[in-house]
Amino acid sequence: MTLTESPVAESEAAADTDGAVEPESSAGALEAPRGLAQPFMTSDAAHVGRLFVVASLVMALGKAVIGVLLSFGRTDAVAPDDLFGGLNAYFRLWTLYRVSFVLLVVMPLLLGLALAVVPSQVGARNVAFGRAALASFWSWLIGAVIVVASVLAGGGWGAVDGVTGNESDAMALTLLGTGMVIVALLLGAIVVATTVISLRQTGMGLLDVPPFSWSMLVTAAVWLFSLPVAIANIVVIYADLRGRPAIAFGRPESPDIWLQLDWLVEQPAVYAMAVPVLGIIFQAVGASVGSRSSRPEAILIVIGLFGLLAVGGWSQDYFTAPQDLRDGLVYVAFGLAAVVPVVATAGGVGELVLRGSKTRDRLLDARVLGAGAALKLLGAAALVGALRVIEPLDLLETSVTWSVFHGVVVAGLIAAVAALGTWPQLLFGPLQQKLARPAIMLLFGGGGLLVLADLISGFIADDPDLMALALDGSIALNVVALIGSVLVLGGLAAVLAAVASALRPSTAHASEAA
Amino acid sequence: MRTTELPAAESTRPRTVVVGSLLATGATFVAFAALVSVYVQQRQHARALGEEWFPSGTVELGPAGMMMMTLMLSVVTVQWAVQAARAEDRPHGFIALGVTLMFGAAVINQFWFVYQDTAFAIDGGRAELLFYAVTGSFIAMLIAAMATLTVTTIRSLMGPFGRDLAHAVQASAMFWHMCVLCYFLVWYVVFITK
């Protein structure tokens, strides 16, 4: 047995309750650039991580506004044509909302948390490639700006009512931005994974890393197997779109482009952004109640299993007959099995609570509230996902797809709030409970309503309506969805307020004094 | 009580460049494999409908086989560069890297000939479109591999071969091997089975 593979008591003893360990040596500590140059020059991953988190939260706020507008468009109070200036414009924002919440909000948010937290957890001074982490952030941000700007300029991922040649150029720009964002996220994932694999403290085996670091390693593996497939899709679409006239895959007047990429926001690929949520849940609860699992290896297995079930590049049905793939045994098995790791996580969290301190303050801590809310929403999403793949229910091409999506996305947002409270010293400082708790409750309420509205709408819809271009469900359900969207928007505003409050020097000093 | 602070032991897992490159190489391979799978699926679909994929005689095997041979030789030379870097043998390292880059340029030149020879229009049909998507992506990957090798060569000119540089050469070689593997897929799927 080699030394590197054997767990040692010292490293475990060095780990505090939130899993952070002291770096091996402080020698060679980074000299960070100061002032305005810092965001452009720093190779300190903690700083890059914070940039990712703030930018993602700002993006989330913008996308939540779009969500409210889309929900308002479903209420029959005003026709989408009037509200957005045409059905095609509605479709553009509808697709932007979905792609953005995955690629521009939740994935970079969790990646940012990982860049800030993982090095400390594995006992490294910094991530493996500090400058690559910074390149990841800036290329993601530039790609995100390109995506949003090009969509607003008439681009997007296809159309439904025919477009002009100018819009085809904007679509090419959207594809370019999407590809750039994906490559940036992959680069960040590689940085995090390499840090866990190569820069662990001496004596810390791969199975000894804390749950969040492990979940990020699993996430990186899942992204590396899934996101490059989207790059391949984009290459094919782009080649067709620019080869004029587009003949097959990139026809700008049809929704074909979206249909080649929609697997990214559907089961099972949508679970890929929820894998770190499990790691955060375990650590947030453990840190709050002050306990550790008696079976840490079981936690790693649960997270690994969820990651395995989140690999989704194979599940795109554009190139095959949809019924061949989605009625197939593998797709159904993936959908049903995703419930298992979430239920196992609930069991693991229950054990942590039972073994820990169960005082009222600790159980009402924002970390526990956030972890519990994220777990409930993720569990709801996994259950709805299991229902969705049951063929006799005929839910595959209905709004139930977006019930799963909303559950996972909002669970990711809530888990991020729990993480901000769990590792304040590595992020923005202590969050004010009076802001963090309402933020979590608003997000949980909003996410729950969205999951419920889309689920029931899917059950009562007469015809498959995956695009939601026709207004499905009853007006009452659409109003419920609108309320949910508004609550999510309010929750995100509260999260940003909590982060801003934590960043204020006076708050930090007061917290230190306390 | 006085304690003695011992220096931290050197990590036994320092090969960050190799590990990072391995992950990046794997991701690139996944992307290329997905691209090839789209090609195969579309070709299968077309044939199931009784359609012709490429007009007969348009895609010749000769140049493609020559490229395969060239890249097989480059596998040897790039590994020669890795060995030279490990042994800190600068002359052999430069020669090996230079020859590898020359092989890469030869393949790009050969592809130019293939494009002229086939004279496909990119909007000529699904087959032509995917032909350009797959081979164009391969050329982009090959250029990226040549760029990393060039950077490594320049770095080696600026100082002595050390462990870091040996790892950098090894990482570049890994990406190069992946490119050759990808070309093997192209060779078999596009040029042999057409």
Put simply, whether B139 touches A (Cβ < 8 Å) is no
Q: Over range A187-194, report the average pLDDT.
A: 97
DSSP track, A399-411: THHHHHHHHHHHH
pLDDT per residue over A89-134, tens digit each? 888 999 999 999 999 999 999 999 999 999 999 999 999 999 999 9
Instruction: Give the span between the Cα atoms of B30 and B42, in whole angstroms.
Output: 18
Q: CB distance B8–A220 less than 8 Å? A: no
Q: CB distance A319–B42 less than 8 Å? A: yes
Q: Is residue A466 part of a domain?
A: yes
Q: How many domains does chain A fold into?
A: 1
| pLDDT > 70? residue A18 | no
Q: Sorting pLDDT into bands at 50, 70 and 90, what band is A24? A: very low
Q: Sorting pLDDT into bands at 50, 70 and 90, what band is A252? A: confident
Q: Over range B81-103, report the average pLDDT.
A: 90
CB A13 within 8 A of CB A3: no
Q: What are the percentages of helix, strand and coil residues in chain B, rounded to 5?
A: 80, 0, 20
pLDDT per residue over A425-443, tens digit each? 898 888 888 889 999 999 9
Q: Which of A17-21, A389-393, B186-190 has the highest mean pLDDT?
A: B186-190
SS3 B87: coil
Q: How does DSSP classify residue A157?
A: S
Instruction: Give the span between the Cα atoms of A152 and A156, in whole angstroms.
Output: 8
Query: What does the pLDDT read at residue A32?
Result: 60
Place of tokens 């001496």: A202
Q: Over range B167-183, report the average pLDDT.
A: 94
Q: Which of A17-26, B5-14, B146-155 has the highest mean pLDDT?
A: B146-155
> Minimal Cα–Cα distance from B14 to chain A, Å?
6
Least confident of A18-27, A461-470, B106-115, B125-134: A18-27
Instruction: Give the span between the Cα atoms of B86 and B169, in whole angstroms.
Output: 9
In chain B, residues with a C-beta closer than 8 Å to the C-beta of A239 are 122, 129, 132-133, 136
Q: Is residue A103 part of a domain?
A: yes
Distances (CA, A) of A270 to A107, A309, A330, A417: 10, 10, 16, 20
Higher-pLDDT residue of A22 and A473 is A473
SS3 B172: helix
Its ipTM equals: 0.89
CA angle (A422 as vertex; A417, A424 as ends), nearest 5: 90
- Cα-Cα-Cα-Cα dihedral of A69, A72, A74, A78, to 10°? -110
Query: What does the pLDDT read at residue A43?
Result: 85
Name the residue range of residue A400's domain: 43-513
User: Domain-by-domain residue ranges, chain B?
Assistant: 17-47+62-192
Query: What does the pLDDT read at residue A310?
Result: 96
What's the full length of chain A, in residues? 514
Q: Return the residue of B nearest to A202 by Cα.
A: B11
List, in sequence order, the alpha helices (H) in B119-162.
126-158
Q: Sorting pLDDT into bands at 50, 70 and 90, what band is B4? A: low
Look up the CATH number of the domain holding residue A289. Answer: 1.20.210.10
pLDDT per residue over A345-362, tens digit each? 999 999 999 998 878 888
SS3 A379: helix
In chain A, residues with a C-beta closer than 8 Å to the C-beta of B130 are 236
Q: Is residue A70 part of a domain?
A: yes
CA angle (B93 as vertex; B109, B187 as ends), nearest 5: 35
The residue among A186, A194, A261, A177 whose CA lies nearest residue A223 is A186
| pLDDT > 60? residue A5 | no
Q: Is residue A21 part of a domain?
A: no
Least confident of A78-82, A89-93, B122-126: A78-82
pLDDT per residue over A277-335, tens digit each? 999 999 999 999 998 888 999 999 999 999 999 999 898 888 876 667 777 899 999 99
Interface residues from chain A to B (CB-CB < 8 Å):
2-4, 24-25, 128-129, 132, 186-187, 190-191, 193-194, 197-200, 202, 220, 224-225, 227-229, 231-233, 235-236, 239-240, 243-249, 313, 319-320
Instruction: Give the span between the Cα atoms of A349 and B57, in whole angstroms.
Output: 65
Instruction: Give the span between the Cα atoms of A309 and A311, in whole angstroms.
Output: 6
Domain B17-47+62-192 has CATH 1.10.8.60: no
Query: What does the pLDDT read at residue A29?
Result: 46
